[in-house]
Structure 1
């Protein structure tokens, strides 16, 4: 790739994602690593280098400094898997469908008890049409562009009695 990295745009940048690249930045700087992603606003590159079986180092190369990006290697299936799972929490585990439905039901009941309009849409809970809660229905599983509603619902879920180890039917809001 020639000069003008920031001018290429997201559609062109995606051709480099999940590939080992050599990035020339500045006069004498070169950076190598697996390109994880490119920031669409700043054109900055996020490079990952694996250290043995368990570790990885992450480096960000600012988009305005990039002079050239050269593909060195395509990722194999194992490398793609490592790249995609590098930043996931290590303690994630899948709930069985019955357990997931029970938790979803408890969260929905708690929100309704606190006069929050909530509906089930498949495996998600939708709050007032502006917030979505996905499995496993914890405060960090809430998503909304409205920060005020997001904060309030997260606090409400965090203060849910069954999270504190008590029975929600015995506790009044």
Structure 2
């Protein structure tokens, strides 16, 4: 079934998720893959093609065809994009937390320990496993600086 993309209502987009599709573009080319997600505002599609993501702008899409139902299952997206970090033992995580607290104090940054999270400079939360990827804040500038500082600790 060919679906004219410009006429697709937002509520209809959900049926494409986790399906294998072929997209016909206005430039007469085609692109296929598994639908990872769709932006409901722009109708842009993120496709998974052999373990890489391809972004297709909604305004470039002419029509979409859902491939025939087959025995082929959609890839498990979470497994494909999961970070390959080794599992740490509790004592290793606790040791990293203590070292990170000392590192912040050495660099004259105030740090508070609240259960499992560290609060740095009153605005950045560092969660287990206490690396540069486990920081949470709404301030992008401070986030970047704290992440850089954490990465420098792991390199020393």
Bin the TM-score by the shorter chain: 0.7 to 0.9
User: Would you say how many aligned residue pairs link Structure 1 and Structure 2?
Assistant: 152
Q: Please give the per-residue CA displacement for 1:74-132, whole angstroms capped at 9, x wherever unaligned.
A: 873xx442x2232334x411111221121112212322343423334443323244323
| Counterpart position of 2:5 | 3
Residues 38 and 122 (structure 1), Cα distance of their counterparts in 2 relative to 1, 3 Å cut = farther
| Counterpart position of 2:81 | 87
* Among candidates 57, 60, 67, match of residue 65 of structure 1: 60
- Write the distance in 2 (CA, Å) between the matches of 1:29 and 1:99: 52
**For the Cα contact (< 8 Å) 1:5–1:63, is it kept in 2?**
no
Q: Please, which runs of 5 or more residues in structure 1 have no aligned partner?
A: 51-55, 165-173
Alpha-carbon shift at residue 3 of structure 1 (Å): 3.1
**Relative to structure 2, which stretch is displaced further, 113-122 or 31-40?**
113-122
| Counterpart position of 1:117 | 110
| Counterpart position of 2:26 | 26
- Write the distance in 2 (CA, Å) between the matches of 1:125 and 1:6: 46
- Write the distance in 1 (CA, Å) between the matches of 2:13 and 2:110: 41
Alpha-carbon shift at residue 25 of structure 1 (Å): 1.9
| TM-score between both structures, scaled by the size of structure 1 | 0.68
| Counterpart position of 1:152 | 145
**For the Cα contact (< 8 Å) 1:5–1:67, is it kept in 2?**
no
| Counterpart position of 2:36 | 36
Alpha-carbon shift at residue 5 of structure 1 (Å): 6.4
- SS of residue matched to 2:17: coil
Alpha-carbon shift at residue 36 of structure 1 (Å): 1.5
Q: Please, which runs of 5 or more residues in structure 2 have no aligned partner?
A: none
- Write the distance in 2 (CA, Å) between the matches of 1:25 and 1:45: 12
| TM-score between both structures, scaled by the size of structure 2 | 0.73
- Write the distance in 2 (CA, Å) between the matches of 1:19 and 1:119: 46
Residues 109 and 36 (structure 1), Cα distance of their counterparts in 2 relative to 1, 3 Å cut = same
